[in-house]
Amino acid sequence: MASTVTYLLTRADVQKALSMADAVRAVEAAFVAYGEGRAQMPPKSYLRFERGDLRCMPAYLADVGLAAVKNVNVHPLNEELPTVMATVTVFDPDTGFPLAIMDGTYLTAMRTGAAGGIAAKYLARRDSAVACFVGAGRQAATQLAALMTTMPNIRKVLACDVDADRAEAFARGSAATYNVEASAAPLADAVSAADIVTTLTPVREPLIMKDYVRPGTHINAIGADAPGKQELESAILQAAKVVVDNWEQAAHGGEINVAVSQGLIARDDIHAEIGEVVTGKRPGRQSPDEITVFDSTGLAIQDVACAAHVYRRLTSDAHARASLQTVDFLAGD
Ligand SMILES: NC(=O)c1ccc[n+]([C@@H]2O[C@H](COP(=O)([O-])OP(=O)(O)OC[C@H]3O[C@@H](n4cnc5c(N)ncnc54)[C@H](O)[C@@H]3O)[C@@H](O)[C@H]2O)c1
């Protein structure tokens, strides 16, 4: 019988059900499904406000038998509230019934981290030991958690942020959680010392210059996810092997969007989409000296994959189900 129960899942529920290892597994499987043409994912659509925007991100993964729509904002001027907040509604593809509405903020950070970890697995040098984080805000912790899951040789963390207290706090937290050497460091020095650089700022003027970047470095460019945003000098993109999560999204609002709109790079200059790399259709890193860039805009399939994992994990046994909040949308007069 088709389910007519809608679960309301809080952040605590999602946290309980989704570890970083779970998120990496779910997102990698989603990238494979996408690379092999088994995912439906229309482009995300944007509502623009004076102080931010709201994005609607639908996708269907036949492999997990569920569809979902995430609604997520980006409001960089928020002070009390986070920059990014999200809810995910999970649907039964057979009936269209909403099976769950869950907090998507933690899920967004987890699936974004997972994508960075997976990209590093295919594109960074296997012996990568030093990870630099540019922007020590909310997404940074899950990017680190994912690298610690997929890159077994990370020994040192360098943190950079215009807000020196945030960089210090991130370094302290990294050292305490993962038993790695960690410190705040000046941007150019930290990038030059790193094997993997993760950029996580909302800037619109590049802050990573080509001469900071050593041969052999892998860069996860995460922060640019809307038109006009750019963290890397375009010369880096012109010199590097660039892998995007999705060409249309990346050209519209990812790290490459400004360089594409200025005619500095074109589709032919992009090495691959991540789905092509994880399925082996296109190679990942091919030499220890190449500079690689993963341009992450965030795909709706990442959200569906993680939301489906959470839904199944929390509702698979009667005992766990009994403690969850539900709402009866069909109740009426
Ligand atoms: N690609 C994706 O899938 C994805 C997902 C979520 C968020 N994002 C983007 O990632 C970015 C970071 O998100 P967040 O939630 O961590 O935001 P946040 O506001 O919590 O953190 C951003 C950090 O960047 C720092 N910063 C700003 N300008 C800087 C500069 N010039 N130099 C160094 N540090 C600087 C800020 O001080 C802050 O600590 C945003 O642009 C967001 O839109 C992308």
289, two tokens: 């000296």
Whether 167 and 59 map to the same domain: the answer is: no
State the CB neighbour count (10 A cutoff) for residue 298: 23
Nearest to 155, CA basis, from 179, 129, 184: 129
Q: How many domains does the chain contain in total?
A: 2
Q: What spacing in Å lies between the alpha carbon of 256 and ligand 1's midpoint?
A: 17
Whether 97 and 150 map to the same domain: the answer is: no
Q: Is 135 in the pocket of ligand 1 (CB under 6 A)?
A: yes
Whether 67 and 135 map to the same domain: the answer is: no
22, two tokens: 């779970």
Q: Looking at residue 82, what is its pLDDT?
A: 84
Whether 269 and 154 map to the same domain: the answer is: yes
DSSP state, residue 261: H
Handedness of CA 106, 111, 115, 118 (dihedral sign): positive
212 within some domain: yes
154, two tokens: 């990370």
118 within some domain: no
Indicate which residues carry an active-site annotation.
70
Convert 178-205 to b/e letters by CB count within 10 Å (16 or more is b). bebebebbebeebbbbbbbbbbbbbbee
Whether 136 and 192 map to the same domain: the answer is: yes
Q: Looking at residue 1, what is its pLDDT?
A: 67
Q: Which atom of ligand 1 is nearest to the CA of 207?
A: 31
Whether 22 and 60 map to the same domain: the answer is: yes
- Which residue, judged by its Cα, is nearest atom 7 of ligand 1? 223
Nearest to 24, CA basis, from 150, 154, 153: 150
Q: Is 83 in the pocket of ligand 1 (CB under 6 A)?
A: yes
CATH of the domain at 38: 3.30.1780.10
Whether 103 and 145 map to the same domain: the answer is: no
Tokens 């052999």 sit on residue: 216
119 within some domain: no
**φ and ψ at residue 295, rounded to 5 degrees:** -95, 105
328 within some domain: no
State the CB neighbour count (10 A cutoff) for residue 219: 31
Q: Is 225 in the pocket of ligand 1 (CB under 6 A)?
A: yes
**Mapping DSSP to helix (H, G, I), strand (E, B) and coil, where does residue 42 land?**
coil
Convert 22-33 to b/e letters by CB count within 10 Å (16 or more is b). bbbbbbbbbbbb
210 within some domain: yes
149 within some domain: yes
pTM, to two decimals: 0.95
Q: Looking at residue 331, what is its pLDDT?
A: 86
Instruction: Please choose from 31, 75, 83, 205 the residue to mutate so as to test ligand 1's pocket, defined by most ligand atoms within 8 A of CB.
Output: 83
Expressed as residue numbers, the domain containing 88 is 6-108+300-321
Q: Looking at residue 333, what is its pLDDT?
A: 67
Q: Is 137 in the pocket of ligand 1 (CB under 6 A)?
A: yes
Query: pLDDT tens string for the chain (333 positions)?
Result: 677 899 999 999 999 999 999 999 999 999 999 999 999 999 889 899 999 999 999 999 999 999 999 999 989 899 999 888 999 999 999 999 999 999 999 999 999 999 999 999 999 999 999 999 999 998 999 999 999 999 999 999 999 999 999 999 999 999 999 999 999 999 999 999 999 999 999 999 999 999 999 999 999 999 998 899 999 999 999 999 999 999 999 999 999 999 999 999 999 999 999 999 999 999 999 999 999 999 999 999 999 999 999 999 999 988 888 899 999 988 886
Instruction: Give yes or no for a contact between 61 and 36, defined as CB atoms under 8 angstroms apart.
Output: no
61 within some domain: yes
Whether 103 and 30 map to the same domain: the answer is: yes
CA distance 19 to 145: 10
Whether 264 and 199 map to the same domain: the answer is: yes
Whether 176 and 285 map to the same domain: the answer is: yes
CA distance 292 to 255: 13
List alpha helices for 124-186, DSSP H.
Answer: 140-150, 164-178
Whether 218 and 275 map to the same domain: the answer is: yes
Whether 236 and 289 map to the same domain: the answer is: yes
CA distance 248 to 146: 25
285, two tokens: 């890193």
332 within some domain: no
CATH of the domain at 202: 3.40.50.720
